[in-house]
Amino acid sequence: MGIIAGFKNITKSYHINEIRIPVLENVNFQLDSEDMIAFVGPSGSGKTTILNLLGCLDTPDDGEIILDKIDIYGLSKNRLAEIRNEKLGFIFQSFNLIPVLTAYENVEFPLLLENISDKQTRKDMVMEILDKVGIKELAGRLPSHMSGGQQQRVAIARALVKKPVLVLADEPTANLDSKSAGETLDLMRKMNEDLKTSFVFSTHDSKIMNFAKRLITLQDGSIVKDERK
């Protein structure tokens, strides 16, 4: 296992009506590859901000973020988009599938962005991951014709189809019933084991806290506890 990502003295704040609201204060951590880490803490503690910074969706006020040996500070928007496409996968609380695309096309889309031009190669990759997440037979369905659990499986497939080094999951079970939530977590654990992909969660869900290999607790923008189980 190597280090896949790290924060060094990260500070982040938001400004509302010129009032500075600190969100993260001097945060430091390193993430190992093939790990399953959950950031937990009360609302406003900075969990989602950490995921956004790790996911190159936001930039820190100060500090250094290393992602797969790349210092992402100061990179252009296009380069950050490339890094997101090549190295990261995202799973959102409300699935965020593209409603006009079928399950197959949603999963295929990151491959098109990566300019994998051979249709058969794309098809093999998409069908393989859809098979792994157990919804191969739903490939032709639109998201609106699928249950929440099935949609989240498509989202997981989309996140994993390029075999990223890190998958960021923001409250992935918040919109699922307990049965679907349990199945989704089992699926992610299986993917972690099969594909050796690291998962980082932001969550309030005790189920995720129980199944994560490492739990980092945040409070008021600072890490107050970092425990490996």
Nearer to other proteins, 84 or 132 (CB): 84
Minimum separation from the CB atom of position 110 to other proteins (A):
5
Helix (H, G, I), strand (E, B) or coil at 47: helix
DSSP conformational letter for 133: T
Stretch that binds other proteins, among 25-33, 84-92, 128-136, 182-190 (CB under 8 A): 84-92
Question: Using alpha carbons only, how large is the chain's radius of gyration in Å?
Answer: 17
Is there binding between residue 127 and other proteins (CB under 8 A)?
no
Q: Which two tokens stand for residue 40?
A: 């937990």
Closest of 132, 120, 112 to residue 195, by C-alpha: 132
* Alpha helical stretches, state H, 93-168: 103-113, 119-132, 148-160
Stretch that binds other proteins, among 3-11, 53-61, 181-189, 204-212 (CB under 8 A): 53-61
Binding string, 97-116, against other proteins, x = CB under 8 A? -xxxx---x--xxx-xxx--
Is there binding between residue 21 and other proteins (CB under 8 A)?
no
Stretch that binds other proteins, among 25-33, 80-88, 189-197, 209-217 (CB under 8 A): 80-88
Closest of 130, 168, 136, 151 to residue 51, by C-alpha: 168
Paired sense of beta strands 214-219 and 198-203, if any: unpaired
Helix (H, G, I), strand (E, B) or coil at 116: coil
Cβ atoms of residues 54 and 216 within 8 Å: no
Nearer to other proteins, 48 or 192 (CB): 48
Minimum separation from the CB atom of position 1 to other proteins (A):
26
**Which residues sit at the interface with other proteins, rule CB under 8 A?**
48-49, 52, 55, 57-58, 77-78, 81-82, 84-86, 90, 92-94, 96, 98-101, 105, 108-110, 112-114, 158, 170
